[in-house]
Amino acid sequence: MKTDREFAADVTRKLQAAGFTALFAGGCVRDDLLGRTPKDYDVATNATPDQVRDLFGHKRTLPIGESFGVITVLGPRSVQPIEVATFRRDGGYSDGRRPDSVEFTDAREDAERRDFTINGMFFDPLTDTVIDYVGGQDDLKLKQIRAIGDAEARIEEDKLRMLRGVRFAATYGFSIEAHTLAAVQKRAPEIDAVSPERIGAELVRMFGHSSFVTAYRLLIESNLWGEVLPQEFLGDPESEKTRLEELNRLRISNGHSNQVAAVIAILVRSALEGQRGLLARLKNAWKLSNELTSSIRWIVNAIPVLSNCHQRKWSEVQPWLIHADATAALDVVEAVGENIRASVEFARAKILLPKEKLNPDPLVTGQDLIDSGIAPGPNFKTILQSVRDGQLDGEIETREQALKRLATL
């Protein structure tokens, strides 16, 4: 079965055999040199989009990005499609995000219009050769993120590059080169030219990575945090210090915790206390999904309950511990709470119980209430909850006892 890399090499080989220049480009080259497995492979070439389609056939290609010189080449089902991009130089960026026009050019000019040096290298898989016009290999060795050419010019072209630079630095454990960082700090207010969807997507990627603490530090250092976070959530320097300390204490339960929701819950919880509807402002600012927004809200609400859950009745605690985000909430409680060890140990032990013990089936249902002569109405839920609480707290152990309880209500 062919791998993604093998298919990308096949595409490159076919282009070269037809007389064109063709090279791996961008992130896959960076990741290869770092010893990481690329999530996908891109190929750059001097073949025009029409020539690429003619070479690979219209049935095996998609012209989705043709206006920017990009053609998608389809391969076997076992591999991802390959984006084949014609070497280009970009015209002006009047919207601060996308080029107004593109002109086809050569590999050197194509490299010089990219964002950071570590993303501006090419690789020939047929000769095992790195082609580096921008000093990307040196910056990989120096472990730094450096803009290609003039940093302010690169930001002027695409304001999202400021957030991408922070994400790359955090993800790879690199520093941001001094001139590049200064340009970001200066132009941070211009991030508002970027759509909320793109801002939110970058932040979610940062907060979902193991380097979320470093990402937060860099967001503050770059002046971007105060620009992307709605003003209602901004605190004083002491608040930022507290957030950082809490993030440093956050330990994610591998495989069982909603990390993005946990991180954001820590960052916004103090602002949300007693402020109904404020989370909607953050959702709109970052275009967060309904699911993620609900998780953040739930975790924030769970903190006071889970912080002293070992002292509460089981019927009060159990509904929180059967929630999908219970583990994430406990991770947050450990990071932000005081004197919570006993409660966290109690809760984590309970979560590990078999389902029939952690969340046993109810002893009675709404139909049982009707059969008992209780008319459907608003009190249905209250009555069922009363019986359920008795069941969870060990006061009611059998269905017969539950039915007797109904008779008294």
Task: Provide mean pLDDT across the span 260-266.
Answer: 97
pLDDT bracket for residue 368 (50, 70, 90): confident
pLDDT(409) > 80: no
From the list 268, 183, 260, 167, the residue with the least C-alpha distance to 219 is 167
Residue 294 near residue 278 (C-beta atoms within 8 A): no
Task: Provide mean pLDDT across the span 10-38.
Answer: 97
Give 339-356 pLDDT, tens digit per residue.
Answer: 999 999 999 999 999 999
Tell me, what's the pLDDT at 257?
A: 82
| CA distance linking residue 23 with residue 9, whole number of Å | 9
Residue 84 near residue 60 (C-beta atoms within 8 A): no
- Phi/psi for 185 (5° steps) reads -60, -40
pLDDT(33) > 80: yes
1-141 CATH pick, 3.20.20.140, 3.30.460.10, 3.40.720.10, 3.40.50.880: 3.30.460.10
DSSP single-letter state for residue 35: T
Please tell me the class of the 229-359 domain: mainly alpha
Mean of pLDDT over the chain: 93
pTM over 0.95: no
Task: Provide mean pLDDT across the span 249-275.
Answer: 90
**Chain position carrying tokens 């076992």:** 78
Q: Where are the domains of the chain?
A: 1-141, 229-359, 366-408
From the list 135, 140, 147, 221, the residue with the least C-alpha distance to 173 is 140
